[in-house]
Amino acid sequence: MATARQDSVVKQPVPRRVSMSPAEVSPELRERLDQAQVLRDPRVRALWPRLKRSQQQAVLDPSTAIGHRYPLSSGEIAQLTGMSERQVRYWADHGLIVHWRKGRRRLFETVGLITAFSITNASQNELQFYRGVMEDSVVKLAAKVGILTSLLASRLEGIDPSEAAELTAPLGELTHR
């Protein structure tokens, strides 16, 4: 009888709780959101069109190959890019593969995989060049960038202004530092 009475009661829809308040997020989520901000950096945006189609696909959906969503581990970045784990750690620790740390573990978001693929796509000569400048002092590095900037400026003549603006956007970021 008791069951019958309960069944006969018309269920009222539970009102949806609606609210807006400042969010307090965990340090881990804060790190992930900071990585999302770096994804919007013009220097990173400039890398996207240079990735192969298969690499872009892997960036959009790593779960097909790895079995889960971001963040990825060093081993998983190695698996996706074909680098060794040791190489991934090397480039990450030298700041060329963007990552964050959870304890001792390096973790990689979308921007990390994009920068890792960019390293993979670079030729041995380019990698050698990067290794060389990584050892330079800031003064020496700035001098080299100055020479390259002059070279770039001379080559931009005759290029469509919008394309030139796109190509030089990463340099503009330096002025915001």
Partner 1 sequence: MTLGQLQAGAGHEFLFHYTDSARADAIIEERCFVSGPGVARGFGIYATDIMPSGAETIEDVIVHCFGGDATPAEVSHAVAVRRASGELQFEQTDDPYQWVLPTGKLELVHIEGIYVATAQFTGSRWVVIDQD
Residues forming contacts to partner 1 in the complex (CB under 8 A) are 16-25, 29, 32-33, 35-36, 39-40, 44-45, 48, 56-57, 59-61, 64, 69-70, 109-110, 114
* CA gap 119, 14 in Å, rounded: 53
> Measured from the CB atom, is 33 or 151 closer to partner 1?
33
Nearest-approach distance from CB 9 to partner 1, in angstroms: 25
We find the least distance from the C-beta atom of residue 84 to partner 1, in angstroms, to be: 25
Least CB distance to partner 1 at residue 146 (A): 28
Q: Which is nearer to partner 1, 7 or 160 (CB)?
A: 160
Of the two residues 25 and 159, which places its CB atom closer to partner 1 in the complex?
25
Residue 91: burial class (beta carbons within 10 Å; 0-12, 13-18, 19+): buried
Closer residue to partner 1 (CB): 121 or 127:
121
Q: How far apart are CA 74 and CA 66, in angstroms?
A: 12
Report in angstroms how near the CB of residue 40 gets to partner 1 at its nearest: 6
Look up residue 166 and give its amino acid: E
In whole angstroms, the minimum distance from the beta carbon of 161 to partner 1 comes to 15
Rank residues 61 and 93 by Cβ distance to partner 1 and give the closer one.
61
**Hey, what's the torsion of the CAs at 167, 173, 175, 177, to 10 degrees?**
-160
What is the helix (H) or strand (E) element at residue 171, kind and residue range? helix 161-172
CB 93 within 8 Å of CB 105: no
CA 92 distance to own-chain centroid = 12
